[in-house]
Structure 1
Amino acid sequence: MKRSVSAHLTLNLHADADLIFSIAVAKGVDATETFTITSEGAELEAHEIAGRHGTRLHRLTGPPGRMTIDYSAEVIGSADPAPVDELDLIEYRRPSRYCESDTLFSTARSEFAGVRGKDLLDAVSSWVGAHLSYVPGASQPTDGAVATMLARQGVCRDYAHLVVAILRALDVPARLVSVYAPGLSPMDFHAVAEAYIEDAWHVVDATTLAPRGSLLRIATGQDASETAFLSQHWAQVDLLSINVTAVVDSLPTDDLAQLTQLR
């Protein structure tokens, strides 16, 4: 499998800002890539920080003015399945900022009593997909799983947060993954859930907007607070434009009857 991805961002910095980007593909794949940051015509260099689960962060202090960020990667083949760590299996069953599994405990137990394993992943994915409407711009950056369930609408990260929160309420370790998603329309960064059953991590995407077999991992964490494509501190930063591309040499058919690992 050959996947080609890119991200182009244009920012306006009101003053010196501490910027952290999470747009590079995660470690573990054979990738040829470029990463260029330019501010008012001058090229800047970010330093790379290793995050959890292969996440790669790029950090720099940006000066005031217009900044462009261009990232591209060509990935050949697939990564090994995500490794399993005992601490992860503890941590990813806990409530988090955007995945309030403790608040949704009663709902989860009522809706999915007695369902286990793959049947549970299928049931939760179908339930979330049926209860939510995909509406770009409908949710706020501060909305978590509870707000999403009440509003009954959102975007990919909202779907993923609700899936993760429900699974955690049922004692299934679950986490959020930001990905490049060949086949996604409209094209953008995408977010999916990853759940631990049958001794491995498996993708759950209640939006069903892109085939799971083509997804390419960027960042992995408790929720969107750990997987955001851009974090800024010290100053106001305006996102003027964003353009994401993701293509694969042969778009796979997604057999929803099968468990799928993020590779």
Structure 2
Amino acid sequence: MSWFKRAKEGITTKTEEKKETPDGLWNKCPSCKKVLHNSEQIENKYVCHHCGYHIRIGSKEYFEVLFDDNQFEELFSNLTSGDPLNFVDSKKYTDRIIETMAKTGLKDAIRAGHGKIEGQDLVIACMDFDFIGGSMGSVVGEKIARSIDYSLKNKIPFLMISKSGGARMMEAAFSLMQMAKTSAKLALLAEAKIPYVSLLTDPTTGGVTASYAMLGDINISEPGAMIGFAGPRVIKETIKKDLPKGFQSAEFVLEHGFLDFIVDRRQMKAKIASFLRMVTKK
């Protein structure tokens, strides 16, 4: 009967003494489905060490990967979205902004910072997909424009990390205007002969692809990233043809001449630093 009841007293563990596994200690690779320890992910730059899949990350992680010792000065951190159209769908746009800010800890879908990469000054603007799908609104365009102005004033190279579902519909034409605004600012950067590196990550779509994401002095991407304008389903229904295998993947885009090269995130910092040394002759 001792199989079915405790033979000794005092060996039970009280509920308050039980230790639970901390949240976020383990994750599963979206590609190969193997379990990944959080510390291993950080050490491996958020790349699965089983299959090489590049896990989606945000500005916080990209700054950790690229800036020397994660030391940087955040730029224009006080900018937040307005509601110029008084947009209401299932809820007010202003309410959605407040909820997303509370959930993500971000002010909008982009952060910018100035720091060093292998000892060289660099301004980085990085998009965050967690903030309304990384959609491009007025704040995204304004932060990019101000970051470019900062680069121009201080003669510092500029890196744009794109990760977006496209224009933010709640701002309509105000959102679409950011395409022209950022492209015009990048023309000034080119005129001043200050290097601009565009890094396209998974996914880069819509108006972002149609503007600043494809205007780099070099356009680079991570392996397997989705890059395109409209979605595959929309394109297929429009042209009434099956799409080729791997359509809109970084590898497909590279093969057709829209990227300069694809680089593993674990070598990203060294590659960008090497390019900057080459073009600035430092």
| Structure number with higher strand proportion | 1
Q: Which has the larger radius of gyration?
A: 2
Structure 1 length as normaliser, TM-score?
Answer: 0.24
Q: Which has the higher contact order (CA 8 A, sep 6+)?
A: 1
Q: TM-score, normalised by structure 2?
A: 0.22
Q: If each structure's helix is expressed as a fraction of its own residues, which one has the higher value? A: 2
